[in-house]
Amino acid sequence: MSKQEKSYTSEAKFMLHGGDYNPDQWLDRPDILADDVKLMQLAHTNTFSVGIFAWSTLEPEEGVYQFEWLDEIFSNIHSIGGKVILATPSGARPAWMSQTYPEVLRVDGSRVKQLHGGRHNHCFTSKVYREKTQQINRLLAERYGDHPALLMWHISNEYGGECHCNQCQDTFRNWLMNKYNGELKALNDAWWGPFWSHTITDWSQIESPSSIGESMVHGLNLDWRRFITDQTISFYKNEIIPLRELTPTVPITTNFMADTNDLIPFQALDYSKFAKHLDVISWDAYPAWHNDWESTGDLAMKVAFIDDLYRSLKQQPFLLMESTPSGVNWHQVNKTKRPGMHLLSAMQMVAHGSDSILYFQWRKSRGSSEKFHGAVVDHDNSAENRVFKDVAEVGQTLEKLSNIVGTNRPADVGLLYDWESNWALNDAQGFGLETKRYPQTLQDHYRTFWEKDIPVDVITKEQDFSAYKLLVVPMLYLVSEETISRLKTFVSNGGTLVMTYISGLVNEHDLAYLGGWHKDLQEIFGIKPVETDTLYPRDQNTITYHNKTYSLKDYATVIELTNANIEGLYVEDFYANSPAITSHQYQSGKAYYIGGRLEDAFQKDFYETLIEELNLAPISNVKHEKGVSVQVRSSAESDYIFVMNFTEQNQPVLFESLVTDMVTGEELVGEVVLRKYEVRIVEKSNS
Ligand code: GAL
């Protein structure tokens, strides 16, 4: 069975709609469970993630199992034609387990063992926890593997965190021995051992960093982070052994996250590595819509950026595994979605490649910390409230979009995101400690394309660059010689490459390149970046670029020209009149270097020039003002065009050719006015 065949789309040719369902909280309320079945139909839902935190109900005592309730839930969902995404329950464990086997409890960075409680807090190395997890997973696969309602596996929940127990320390040492072929010299070389007398003379001296910020051995920090990713994946791989064995055709996912304060990709795990082990990417999106620090459009751009990264991890549609139909319970202010926002935000996910709209949570719990978190069914148990009706509207809309399932989004622009480089950059003592902002810088470069409806793949360093006309690589601080050589091939073969300040400074061990910038980068760009000036927030500088002036903040690289052309100049300071922006024709391609952190207006003008030069066509010919986003998914037969108004005003949009509204069936051409937060999904036939 190939990967492709294992895709859930071969199972489900419909958009998934539903979400996390926790019937285990309501087993003494058969009336509520019966209501669920009715309400699921009224909400136009069809798919439920079940059992995520149900371990204490599934195995109330060690070796004593209770599956009858889950049998009933499977039958209930099946009876209405629905599907189950069955979770493995390792995200939270029963109290008896922590009591009998304290080794399953996590130890924090200061070497303090955590008490039982909370969730997502087990040791990833613990032999006992791995065994117990496999046991319960095997039983679930044996019992439900052939159930016609089983759609997919949901492994654990939002893997994250780290453990510093003795077993983890030993496993880390073994991981290092393996990585450095048992040679301490290689490790000391990579970690720059003699610095502050950190040379290691015996493997047993190695300890995990108590916290990354406290350890000044950057090589150690970087390897620890890599180890945490590998150890989490290893735990996940252990979980899926019985599932692959017993249910080889059932696809597997685990729900990825975002870091939510600023809405950037999840930082702690390298998802580019994790993605290789999943059949389908899924993620949990909780943007703070209607917040008081950014415009709706700015926030929509950040959601789009993460979507385009997570979709590009496998270059295939993904699933929105969790979202809220109203507010959450853990933002500083938990604002509910204003009328129109639920449909709009849901359709944005589909527009960027999601084949589902799933919620946390189906029903509000009665007790504990999530009782006021948004849900499809509120404590009123009613299908008549605003939120429920919003959900039903999304369900009805999705029912009309089944042709879109499985379709992708071709892109000519690649934007490179790298977890490892971000870790190393954040660790770097130097530059501005608060102003590095790598993910936010990528968003700044992404914005222009998003505003101009030019599709972008946000890719990672191992992916194929040759598919793109333009590759944008901002702030790639850590870059291996291998990646440099792939960038070189990309440009020599005719690609256009953009790099910025604070790029190419260290290798994969976080060791600075010697002898100035890497000679291949010098060759590609025709420059030598010689100094990085870091600015205070009130420092002012500007650059001139193509007869216009733009303000600069945080960083300015002083550039020595070897072969490149000057495109822009610094205006002030000791580097006034020296190059700030350069371009260089290298073999069949071209390489641009942006020396400073510049205002949005620069990115806009700069990328507009490239868009023209490279003939990068917008994804559709729908014309609109700022704040409206147009995204397209395509099949051989049709383009499915999403026109989304992320502003609080009416917005005229212009359909230059005839399209059909997929929801209302109307034929549209010419000007159409979108109301505040309105979305139109239209089909344009390719024949
Ligand atoms: C997610 C988690 C869910 C639920 C939700 C609340 O991070 O996976 O179980 O807690 O947050 O927003």
Indicate if ligand 1 lies below 6 Å from the C-beta of 328. Answer: yes
Mutate to test the pocket of ligand 1, among 254, 360, 369 (most ligand atoms within 8 A of CB): 360
pLDDT over 80 at 467, yes or no = yes
The amino acid at residue 50 is V
Per the document, the length of the chain is: 687
Cα(287) to centroid(ligand 1), Å? 13
State the pLDDT at residue 12. Answer: 65
- Of 208-217, 218-227, 338-347, 392-401, least confident by mean pLDDT is 208-217
Give the tokens for residue 167.
């077993």
Q: Whose CA is nearest to atom 4 of ligand 1?
A: 360
Write down the mean pLDDT value for the chain: 96
Using CA positions, which residue lies closest to atom 3 of ligand 1? 360
505-555 pLDDT, tens digit each: 999 999 999 999 999 999 999 999 999 999 999 998 999 999 999 999 999
Residue 6 has a pLDDT of 52
Average pLDDT over every residue of 450-478: 97
Answer whether residue 201 shows pLDDT above 50.
Answer: yes
Contact 402, 13 (CB under 8 A): yes
Is the per-residue pLDDT at 437 higher than 90? yes
Amino acid at site 559: I
Show the domains of the chain with their CATH numbers.
3-160+249-404 (3.20.20.80), 413-613 (3.40.50.880), 622-685 (2.60.40.1180)
- Which positions ≥6 away from 75 have C-beta within 8 Å? none
Confidence band of 643 (pLDDT split at 50, 70, 90): very high
Question: What mean pLDDT is predicted for residues 292-303?
Answer: 97
Q: What integer pLDDT is reported at residue 227 of this predicted model?
A: 98
d(CA 360, ligand 1 centre) in Å: 6
What is the structure's pLDDT at 2? 37
Q: Identify which of 284, 369, 371, 373 to mutate to test ligand 1's pocket (most ligand atoms within 8 A of the CB).
A: 284
Atom of ligand 1 nearest to the CA of 324: 12
Q: If you count DSSP H runs as helices and E runs as strands, how many of each does the chain have, helices first?
A: 19, 27
The mean per-residue pLDDT over the stretch 499-509 comes to 98
Q: Which of 227, 299, 285 is nearest to 256 (CA)?
A: 285
| pLDDT above 70: percentage of residues in the chain | 98
Cα separations (Å) of 184 from 172, 173, 176, 188, 302? 14, 11, 9, 6, 43
Using only C-alpha atoms, what is the Rg of the chain? 26
Q: For residue 627, what pLDDT is reported? A: 97
For residue 370, the CA-to-ligand 1 centroid distance in Å is: 9
C-alpha span between 627 and 167 (Å, rounded): 52
State whether the beta carbon of 373 lies less than 6 angstroms from ligand 1.
yes
Residue 4 confidence (pLDDT) above 50: no
Residue nearest to atom 5 of ligand 1 (CA): 360
554 CB less than 6 Å from ligand 1? no
End-to-end CA distance of the chain: 33
Flag whether pLDDT at 3 surpasses 60.
no
**pLDDT (0 to 100) of residue 11:** 57
Predicted pLDDT of residue 314: 97
pLDDT reported for residue 1 = 32
For residue 203, report the distance from its CA to the centre of ligand 1, in Å: 39
- Per-residue pLDDT tens for 38-85? 999 999 999 999 999 999 999 999 999 999 999 999 999 999 999 999
pLDDT score for 8: 56
Q: Whole-angstrom Cα distance, residue 457 to residue 474?
A: 14
- Give the percent of the chain with pLDDT over 90: 95
Sheet holding 667-674, edge to edge: 628-634, 638-645, 679-685, 651-661, 667-674
Find the 197 Cα to ligand 1 centroid distance in Å: 44
| Ligand 1 centroid distance, CA of 503 (Å) | 36
Q: Is residue 284 within 6 Å of ligand 1 at its C-beta?
A: yes
pLDDT at position 5 is 42
- Asked if residue 465 has its Cβ within 6 Å of ligand 1, the reply is no
User: Six-digit token pair at 390?
Assistant: 């919003």
State if residue 153 touches ligand 1 by the CB under 6 angstroms criterion: no
CA 134, 138, 140 angle in degrees (round to 5)? 120
How many Å apart are CA 635 and CA 181, to the nearest integer?
48
Low-confidence winner among 397-401, 427-431, 486-490 (lowest mean pLDDT): 427-431
Q: Mean pLDDT throughout 658-683?
A: 97
